[in-house]
Amino acid sequence: MMDGTDQKAANLVLLGPPGAGKGTQARMLEESFGLVQLSTGDLLRAAVKAGTEAGRQAKAVMEAGDLVSDEIVIAILRDRLGEPDCAKGVILDGFPRTTGQAEALDRLMTETGQGITAAISLEVDDNAMVARISGRYTCAGCGEGYHDTFKTPATPGTCDKCGGTEMTRRADDNAETVEQRLRAYHAQTAPLIDYYDGKGVLARVDAMADIDTVAQELNTIVAQAVA
């Protein structure tokens, strides 16, 4: 891990449609660079599970594949960003997803004297996303992500990371919801590629390549961001 004193705190945004590989790559970057992965999808699923007011409001919206309101998501993200571990830098996975969220993030960063070091767009073809999402599953113990075809554990049914044997699939990972999530991505999130390009912090990565090839490209970009 490169999170010694020689490493700068960097705040990274991973952009890309559902299934692009944001979570997979964020976890690998977290391990390599000691940055903290912040997934608003994970935070919202935890709120749904805990039955909080925000979770109750978000549940049906998530099941339909629509975006949860900026108000709810920004409040959840702000709370998490305020926790001490985030001071070493974060990898935002699935946030921001609207221009309103991007502007709120800029304000939050400015308040704490920070900024977005790099926004990395994982570029993929829409028609590959249904296969990626419908084959996705996760270790219930540690959250490690797998895929029926593209990323299988060394021993079938057993997590490589924690040895757990309970695997879960997300309720919204079905073909119908994927189409709606892709529509939401193109209408509301894709414009953020230009938003960050305009700020001079955008990097584009071909995320149709295999997981390790994408990881190598990201490592190079992030190594520069923390240097």
Integer Cα distance of 19 and 51 in angstroms? 26
56 has catalytic annotation: no
16 lies in the site for ligand AMP, by CB under 6 A: no
Q: Which is nearer to ligand ADP, 20 or 76 (CB)?
A: 20
Which candidate in 45, 80, 132, 136 is catalytic? 136
Question: Site for ligand ADP (CB under 6 A): which residue of 54, 62, 90, 214?
Answer: 214
Closest CA to 103 of 184, 9, 200, 196: 196
Residue 91 binds ligand ADP, judged by CB under 6 A: no
What is the edge-to-edge ordering of all strands in the sheet holding 36-39?
36-39, 90-93, 12-15, 118-123, 202-206
Sketch the per residue contact string, 103 through 142, with ligand AMP: x for CB under 6 A, - otherwise.
----------------------------------------
Tell which one of 10, 29, 47, 73 touches ligand AMP (CB under 6 A): 73
Report in angstroms how near the CB of residue 120 gets to ligand AMP at its nearest.
15
Helix (H, G, I), strand (E, B) or coil at 220: helix
Token code pair at residue 31: 């391990």
Taking CB under 6 A as the binding criterion, the range among 55-63, 95-103, 193-201, 208-216 that sits at the site for ligand ADP is 208-216
Q: What is the DSSP string of 86-120?
A: GGG-EEEES---SHHHHHHHHHHHHHTT----EEE
- Could you confirm whether 80 is annotated as catalytic? no
Length of the chain, in residues: 227
97 has catalytic annotation: yes
Residue 211 interacting with ligand AMP (CB under 6 A): no
Site for ligand AMP in 155-194 (CB under 6 A): 181
Helix, strand or coil, per DSSP, at residue 50: helix
Q: Which is nearer to ligand AMP, 73 or 214 (CB)?
A: 73
Strands lying side by side in the sheet with 145-147: 145-147, 136-139, 167-168
Does 24 interact with ligand ADP (rule: CB under 6 A)? Answer: yes
Q: Which residue, among 24, 18, 205, has the nearest Cα to 128 in the 3D structure?
A: 18
- Name the nearest CA neighbour of 47 among 61, 58, 62, 37: 58
Pick from 10, 26, 44, 48: which binds ligand AMP (CB under 6 A)? 44
Q: Residue 181 interacts with ligand ADP (CB under 6 A)? A: no
Of these residues, 78, 88, 170, 204, which one is catalytic? 170
Active-site positions? Answer: 22, 97, 136, 170, 181
